[in-house]
Amino acid sequence: MSHSTQRAPGATVEFERISKQYDTRAKGTPGAVNDLSFEVPAGKICVLVGPSGCGKTTSLKMVNRLIEPTSGRILLDGVDTATRDVTELRRRIGYVIQQVGLFPHQTIGENVVVVPRLLGWPAGRRRERAEELLELVGLDPARYRDRYPSQLSGGERQRVGVARALAADPPVMLMDEPFGAVDPIVRDRLQNEFLRLQEELAKTILFVTHDIDEAIKMGDLVAVMKSGGVLAQYGPPSEILAAPADDFVARFVGADRGLKRLSLSRVGDLELRQVAMAQPGDEAAGARRQIDPTFPYLLLIDRERRPIGWIAQDRCPSSGPLSEDLAVPMSPLFNRRATLKDALSLLLDSDVQAGIVVDRRGATLGIVTADEIAEQMRTGEHVVAADPFPGEEAALEVRSGLADGAGVEAAVG
């Protein structure tokens, strides 16, 4: 995003006793909403989640008045939306829908600046903005600007949909299952990219999904709704998972909510355990003395502290220099952004006790064990939510052979 563009900070969104009733219960009637009150602070992502027909989409559409509430008010930065001109209001709110709804007869370059055109921006400024927006969502403007939507893949269209919603830099965005129509791998990538974008943009976002995992991943706040449009619980994801308000919420978040909670914490949040370490050529006797009897292994590292492999205490010679041949390279490597859930699953998969945590240059920071993660899950004390290590890629890798560098890589969010 160009720095010449003035960035609007997010606005607060307040639902004040919002209800929407429908006379008919015909098929296709949107879900009703019953006495809904909550507040989304500026710059936060609030995910509305619940089973189909719970009124989450209805709630979303009442913000830009595609649906008018039966009673109650919605305030944007304290101003009642009902008092504002409806088209002017909509042009100030970004809107992304699952089917994307790009205009088939307009090029991508035209599609992304629909709202700026409605707002009367001159053509030159629109063209510049289109370039910025496409770059922002990771699409090369030169390649995509003049194409039509039918020439794009599903994932590319979703990106254009997000770019279009951001075009006039609205303080509030409404996203109705924005990543629902793509396969899980693309969805995961789009989610991660969007979270990274949001760190920079700090929009206030209302996000609808039926997928509790997506809600936990994307939400600063999660509003769990149940049928009849009743708000069952509202709070940060860690709170929803740790203390479901009722049976419905507990069932909805799933029996594995302990595991899900692990996806909210990252390896870097743990106090990393230190192990005995030595370099090839070091005197074995000295190294042996450092070994902790509760974890009878020595970690061999190179000059840059990069792990080479493990030497079990009983295979460690009692004298002479240590050599690389003794080390068995079999631990997964994590960086600090890996979630505990992914770390645990990799540890279980690779059938070892400990994973090695490394920094960006690959230097050893410490180890993490499955037991420690399980302990974390039991105590339920979760620090996080915000990303404490911005800039570090959330990638982790498993290497079967550390020494020869061969291995599998898995990018995890």
Q: Which is nearer to another protein, 100 or 343 (CB)?
A: 100
Q: Find, among 179, 236, 169, the residue nearest to 207 by Cα.
A: 179
Q: Which is nearer to another protein, 137 or 272 (CB)?
A: 137
d(CA 271, CA 255): 27
Q: Which is nearer to another protein, 170 or 332 (CB)?
A: 170
What is the nearest approach in angstroms of another protein to the Cβ of residue 193?
A: 21
What is the nearest approach in angstroms of another protein to the Cβ of residue 13?
A: 16
Are the CB atoms for 59 and 40 separated by under 8 Å? no
What is the nearest approach in angstroms of another protein to the Cβ of residue 157?
A: 12
What is the nearest approach in angstroms of another protein to the Cβ of residue 360?
A: 41
Q: Which is nearer to another protein, 151 or 323 (CB)?
A: 151
Q: Which is nearer to another protein, 154 or 235 (CB)?
A: 154
Cα separation values, 303 from 207, 232, 279, 281, 336, Å:
48, 55, 7, 11, 21
Q: For 40-87, give the DSSP string.
A: E-TT-EEEEE-STTSSHHHHHHHHTTSS--SEEEEEETTEEGGGS-HH
d(CA 105, CA 148): 7
What is the nearest approach in angstroms of another protein to the Cβ of residue 74?
A: 15
What is the nearest approach in angstroms of another protein to the Cβ of residue 184?
A: 22
Buried/exposed 95-126: b ≥16 CB within 10 Å, e otherwise: bbbbebebeeeebbbbbbbbbbeeeebeeeeb
d(CA 372, CA 267): 11
Beta strands of 138-296 (E only): which ranges? 172-176, 204-209, 221-226, 230-235, 276-278
Q: Which is nearer to another protein, 3 or 27 (CB)?
A: 27
User: How far from the centroid of its chain's Cα atoms is residue 152's Cα?
Assistant: 24
Q: Find, among 237, 144, 169, 159, the residue nearest to 194 by Cα.
A: 159
What is the nearest approach in angstroms of another protein to the Cβ of residue 377?
A: 41
Q: Which amino acid would we find at residue 269?
A: D
What is the nearest approach in angstroms of another protein to the Cβ of residue 148?
A: 4
Residues that bind another protein (CB under 8 A): 64, 66, 87-91, 95, 97, 99-106, 114-115, 118, 147-151, 164, 174
Cα separation values, 146 from 105, 106, 316, 326, Å:
11, 9, 65, 60
What is the nearest approach in angstroms of another protein to the Cβ of residue 162?
A: 13
d(CA 39, CA 65): 18
Are the CB atoms for 156 and 144 separated by under 8 Å? yes
Compute how many other C-beta atoms are within 10 angstroms of the C-beta atom of residue 408: 11
What is the nearest approach in angstroms of another protein to the Cβ of residue 149?
A: 8
d(CA 324, CA 308): 8
Q: Which is nearer to another protein, 97 or 340 (CB)?
A: 97
Residue 185 CB contacts under 8 Å (≥ 6 apart), including other chains: none
What is the nearest approach in angstroms of another protein to the Cβ of residue 51?
A: 22
Q: Which is nearer to another protein, 157 or 226 (CB)?
A: 157
Are the CB atoms for 63 and 240 separated by under 8 Å? no
Q: Which is nearer to another protein, 21 or 151 (CB)?
A: 151
Q: Which is nearer to another protein, 11 or 212 (CB)?
A: 11
Q: Which is nearer to another protein, 26 or 255 (CB)?
A: 26
